[in-house]
Amino acid sequence: MPESESMPESESMSESESMPESEVGQQRQVITIDGLAASGKSSAAKGLAQKLGIAYVSSGLLYRAATWLALHTDVDVTDEEALFAILSAHSLTLTPYHDRDNRVSVALAGETKDISSELETSTIDAAVSHVAKHPRVREWVDTRLRELCCQFVIDGRDMGLVVFPQAHAKFYLQASAEVRAKRRLSDRNEDFNAAVHAINERDRRDAKQSKPARDAIHIDTDDMTLEQVIATMLEHIRARGR
């Protein structure tokens, strides 16, 4: 398989007839990968983006950053108005790259701080679903994501259904809670049973906002390697371009 392949354009051009004008102007091409917590979507999305030579975007990082901001400004995560107010007051920016991880920065106490390394923690995991359930927070995140240019692979929970319904290709990754906990433990030093419990709990809280698009291709990754998942997605994308 070649290291980097360009995304086929034929189908996205016909889809652009029904896109908003701003998207046509930028010739946006988006591939969405949705799935539950620790389903392997970020590794798969990064790997796919690298193969296609386009950027990778993590939508979850914006929810994590909103949660970080609430925890650092003593805002109650159940208070939708207060959450929206801090998001409006502190310039919070997600910057995607072609060749490295997304960076997130926030303006706090007169300084712009890079908070990227503080977002993937168990404390944020435990609070983030409470922040993400508020419609005004979701609208704020969706607006930031729709402002991004131009070609990218994005992962999340509702990217294909809600945020980018015109996406070039949509995937939904599934895996059992046990397999997801094992994958999580390879990045973090946690107890296995506690990780399974935390994943099941986050699934329960995220259920409302974790919906696959009707036209998403479902991939069960339990018995697949990361390379196989990426190869499966590439095959679907190539087939769509034919």
In the complex, the residues that contact ligand C5P under the rule CB under 6 A are: 37, 59-60, 63-64, 128-129, 132, 156-159, 202, 206, 209
Distance CA 16, CA 195 (A): 42
Query: Shortest Cβ distance from residue 80 to ligand C5P (Å)?
Result: 14
Given a contact cutoff of 8 angstroms between Cβ atoms, the answer to whether 153 and 54 are in contact is yes
Q: Is 170 helix (H, G, I), strand (E, B) or coil?
A: strand
Query: Shortest Cβ distance from residue 132 to ligand C5P (Å)?
Result: 4
DSSP 8-state code for residue 117: G
Could you give phi then psi for residue 6, rounded to 5 degrees? -85, 150
Query: Shortest Cβ distance from residue 15 to ligand C5P (Å)?
Result: 21
The residue (of 139 and 235) whose beta carbon lies closer to ligand C5P is: 139
The residue (of 178 and 235) whose beta carbon lies closer to ligand C5P is: 178
Query: Shortest Cβ distance from residue 164 to ligand C5P (Å)?
Result: 11
**What residue number has its CB nearest to ligand C5P?**
60
The residue (of 57 and 237) whose beta carbon lies closer to ligand C5P is: 57
Closest Cα to residue 170, out of 225, 216, 120? 216
Q: Is 20 helix (H, G, I), strand (E, B) or coil?
A: coil
How many residues would you count in the chain?
A: 242
The residue (of 16 and 128) whose beta carbon lies closer to ligand C5P is: 128
Distance CA 143, CA 145 (A): 5
The residue (of 23 and 164) whose beta carbon lies closer to ligand C5P is: 164
The residue (of 16 and 33) whose beta carbon lies closer to ligand C5P is: 33
User: In Å, how far from its chain's centre is CA 92?
Assistant: 16
Query: Shortest Cβ distance from residue 190 to ligand C5P (Å)?
Result: 15
Query: Shortest Cβ distance from residue 37 to ligand C5P (Å)?
Result: 5
Q: CA neighbours within 13 Å on the CB side: how many for 161? A: 13
What region, left, alpha or beta, does residue 119 occupy, with left being phi > 0 and alpha being psi -120 to 50 degrees?
alpha
The residue (of 16 and 198) whose beta carbon lies closer to ligand C5P is: 198
Query: Shortest Cβ distance from residue 208 to ligand C5P (Å)?
Result: 9
Alpha helices in the chain (DSSP H): 10-15, 21-26, 41-52, 60-72, 80-89, 122-132, 135-146, 177-187, 192-206, 226-241
